A and B are shown apart, each in its own frame.
Chain A
């Protein structure tokens, strides 16, 4: 198992107004697996992704990646771990506004003090159809373009785990297919693990396994 979530809980607030965004979730992903997460809006999908992505500490429970319980790590090693092991595509496009597309994409590699492989990233940009926009600032891009930049950024460092929160939410079916093809190709080629949150049934069906989240708990797991 490359990734394991044990008895994960995430509660917001206290007392009567307490929201149990995630409640007692056990979760395991094998290396190279492609998993889709589905569920109603507000079910807790994003929350779960943040927790397993090392972005948000759970109220209780632990996340183990490659045998390390990540939330016991101090802040800085966790950040280093994140940029090397995890590529995250946020639901809302989170690009750095002062950096252009290209800089945004190679940022995680740059932070690691490494050099990006230019041809590889150019390939990604071409596949995603945003090569022309590589020197633009994020604010002049359309929603879908921004989302594709975020995907390119997640893949750029060739992380072991790619987490994508509704990566095709803003895309037409053709672009959406391009994105999925790219994700699958990358996953196969580099033996990456892919977890995708989606509302799109077709996307869900492509996965090895679909996890349904209902009111903060895992209701069902469907193997394809």
Chain B
């Protein structure tokens, strides 16, 4: 039993640490694959700045990139693809994840996105020769040429970039230099150390006299790799809580045996065992228990974790898959921790014996002093004693033991509830939902020049609405407002770098359906919809600036001499619902379409998204594509791939979350069973005695059951009253790195815990009954010392 307990505690530490380690490894892998292994990106560099940064000794590796902004291709423009053309180092080193092939070397070689190649109508095959019409602007004049490139590398599709129609085209260094002698220089830098990487990266940039906005931290990579005092502290807190829980699990069991051990040690001392002999006896015993327990715990935890490897590996391929990674360091550390924890728990009774006389030790009774209440009874004796008095006597007079049990059960439950909160708040549906509002989208090209043109006009809209299979149609309008400078100062970053005299702000107007789903994401109800419809109220996007609900900002219509108007921010979205490309300096605001009507802003529909019946996706896709093909100025986008990508990720995350929480649940259940059974064995004689005096079976069941239930009730109360706030903070901690996290009360986890504990209590009570009835009363009274 004791060995089992130690195994349990060790497995607890091991499973949780392994999970965190594996997840850490996963996010590192993901970060490296998605954006490349670099901490920071320094942009728009002058040759002198470039020189300085490249020579900085704190940089371990750097990759140079030339962005040829002056080169454009009519073909891409016609396809409404926003291409970044240029030269880039480090492609072969994995800075950009290539599907196949290599970086371009000669002037007629290039690398393209897979989806771009396909949209251009070429097979995505290496060696394919693709002619491009290029317009190269340099020093005032524009040169038009046609050049054929051989495809030597293909970039893997990233759904978000594809949905945004942002493409990549890499050419050789020499060609890039020839086309743009004065290119936009970017350096991708990997620092020597992950410790405080973000601030080091900033310091390097500042040292080279870079503006703040020239320094772009790779949040994905730094987020996954960076170590700083805060991240180390966070990890330490997690490890500490787990360690304490494991220690309590072990201590709980040893504490139940404590009185027996003390009596035994007292007896040993009385018959002449020297303290030294006693110590070595205890030590050997502890060593054997802890060695056996730790080894078993490692096997248990390791085995449990490993069982999920093939499963998880198959769930989703690629970077986001969570493989269980067993680290020998963690295993060793956990093993040693198991040893230390046991030795401490074993030493407790030994120390106690040392401080007691032999006789006091032999007669040791852990029942506490009776307290005030029983002193009062001196004057008046009760004339009745109920089964409940026996229960409360047990729990109150052995309050120390009761507390240790409660704390032990509470802590394992606590970890369960906190992880439950985090996982239930990781509403992964939000993740895809935050990027895309529907299944497909048609958007009108932003041709500012043509004021009259209404591409998604009533006729087109009618066509879309009546398409069989379309369930919901969501529309967006668009206009530009001018931000009041003072207010902009309050809410926007990087004001200094803005070149335009006016701060333009993109304002999108949603229809009822899109607004309703947006409000749902914000956790607001329909009353807010009315506010947005009828008042000068807006929703801000947190990515673009610091906003708080209730902020007031002044905006004016575009054009000369327009009067400013005060708007109230009634909600803040973590990011923009429908994916945006480049936004204006002033960021993005969201309004209701009624506001556009009232203020007489641009009433044309610029974007229409549809939600589609599962079975009719193919048909709708064809029809919508038909509209886009008929008018090239309308772009069709499918979000199916985005959904799929997120779904794969979601599955993995959910599975990993489920396996961790179920492992934790199993551990807390075992802990409860363990406490129950140990306490029964320790009290076997006492229970039997009360039975001899005439306690019936049903009374015994009541007694054991209610004792257990009171302990559970207390534990659950504490678990919830501590675990829920802790979970809330845990989620907050997590939120900084993932915007799809929204706190949610872990109802499912809590219910599971309550049900599991109650079931376990009922089952163990009956099991105890059964065990007891297997021995005769006198046998139990005689032999259970």
Give me the interface of A with B, judged by CB distance under 8 Å: 50, 55-57, 75-77, 79-80, 82-84, 88, 90, 94-100, 102-103, 106-118, 122, 134-135, 137-139, 153
Contact = CB atoms under 8 A, between A and B. Distances in A.
11 contacts: A79-B699, A90-B692, A97-B365, A98-B397, A98-B686, A109-B384, A112-B694, A117-B383, A118-B381, A137-B397, A139-B363
Interface residue SS majority, chain B: helix
Interface in B373-394: 374-375, 377-378, 381-387, 389-390, 393-394
Interface in B760-785: 773, 776-779, 781
B698 interface: yes
A137 B398 CA distance: 12
B370 interface: yes
A83 B778 contact: no
B528 interface: no
A115 B696 contact: no
B693 interface: yes
Interface of B: 363-365, 367, 370, 374-375, 377-378, 381-387, 389-390, 393-394, 397-398, 686, 689-699, 773, 776-779, 781
Contacts of A96: 390, 686, 689-690
Given A98-B686, A135-B370, A55 B386 contact: no
Nearest to A134: B381
A137 B367 CA distance: 8
Residue from the set B389, B692, B694 with the largest chain A CB neighbour count within 10 Å: B694
Given A79-B696, A80-B694, A96-B686, A103 B385 contact: yes
Contacts, number: 117
Contacts of B699: 79, 111
B390 A99 contact: yes
Contact of A111 (B363, B382, B397, B693): B693
A84 B393 CA distance: 24
Given A80-B696, A96-B689, A139-B365, A102 B390 contact: no
Given A56-B777, A135-B375, A106 B367 contact: no
A55 B384 contact: no
Nearest to A154: B693
Nearest to A139: B365
B472 to A, nearest CB: 65
Contacts of A102: 377, 381-382
A79 B363 contact: no
Contact of B694 (A56, A111, A137): A111
A77 B699 CA distance: 12
A194 B225 CA distance: 83
A220 B378 CA distance: 49
Contacts of A122: 381
B697 A76 contact: yes
A59 B578 CA distance: 84
Given A98-B397, A135-B378, A137-B370, A115 B692 contact: no
Given A55-B692, A79-B696, A98-B393, 14 more contacts: A55-B778, A75-B697, A79-B691, A90-B781, A95-B689, A98-B686, A99-B393, A106-B382, A106-B383, A106-B384, A107-B693, A113-B386, A122-B381, A153-B693
Nearest to B378: A135
Contacts of B686: 96-98
Nearest to A77: B696
Contacts of A139: 363-365, 367
A50 B689 contact: no
Nearest to A122: B381
A57 B776 contact: yes
Contacts of B387: 110-111
Closest A-B pairs by Cβ, 3 of them? A83-B694, A110-B385, A139-B365
Given A55-B692, A83-B693, A97-B686, A75 B384 contact: no
Contact of A107 (B365, B377, B385, B781): B385
A50 B389 contact: no
A50 B778 contact: yes
A7 B588 CA distance: 99
A123 to B, nearest CB: 13
Q: Pick the most buried of A75, A138, A139: most chain B CB atoms within 10 A of its CB.
A: A75
A97 B694 contact: no
A134 to B, nearest CB: 7
Contacts of A94: 689, 692, 781
A110 B694 contact: no
A52 to B, nearest CB: 12
B359 to A, nearest CB: 12
Nearest to B397: A98
A108 B694 contact: yes
Contact of A116 (B383, B695, B781): B383
A120 to B, nearest CB: 10
A136 to B, nearest CB: 8
A167 to B, nearest CB: 16
Contact of A135 (B374, B695, B698): B374
Contacts of B692: 55, 82, 88, 90, 94
A103 B393 contact: yes
A108 B385 CA distance: 9
The CB with the most chain B CB atoms within 10 A, among A57, A95, A116, A137, is that of A137
A108 B374 contact: no
B539 to A, nearest CB: 63
A107 B384 contact: no
Contacts of A109: 384-385
Contacts of A116: 383-385
Nearest to A153: B693
A135 B375 CA distance: 7
Given A98-B393, A100-B370, A76 B698 contact: yes
Nearest to A75: B697
Contact of A75 (B367, B370, B385, B773): B773
A137 B365 contact: yes
A53 to B, nearest CB: 8
Given A80-B696, A137-B370, A107 B777 contact: no
B697 A79 contact: yes
A57 B778 CA distance: 9
Nearest to B689: A94
B367 A98 contact: yes
B364 to A, nearest CB: 8
B691 A100 contact: no
Contact of B389 (A79, A110, A135): A110
A182 B571 CA distance: 85
A117 B773 CA distance: 33
Contacts of B385: 99, 103, 106-107, 109-110, 116
Contacts of B377: 102, 135
A209 to B, nearest CB: 25
A115 B383 contact: yes
Contact of A79 (B364, B365, B695): B695
Given A82-B692, A94-B689, A115 B384 contact: yes
Nearest to A56: B778
Nearest to A95: B689
B389 A103 contact: yes
Contacts of B397: 98, 137
Contacts of B384: 106, 109-110, 114-116
A116 B385 CA distance: 9
B365 to A, nearest CB: 4
A118 B778 contact: no
A110 B698 contact: no
Nearest to B390: A99
Nearest to B695: A111
A100 B374 contact: yes
A14 B343 CA distance: 42
Contacts of B389: 99, 103, 110
Interface centre among B393, B698, B777 (most CB of A within 10 A): B777
B418 to A, nearest CB: 35
Contacts of A79: 691, 694-697, 699
Nearest to B386: A110
Nearest to A125: B381
Contacts of B773: 75
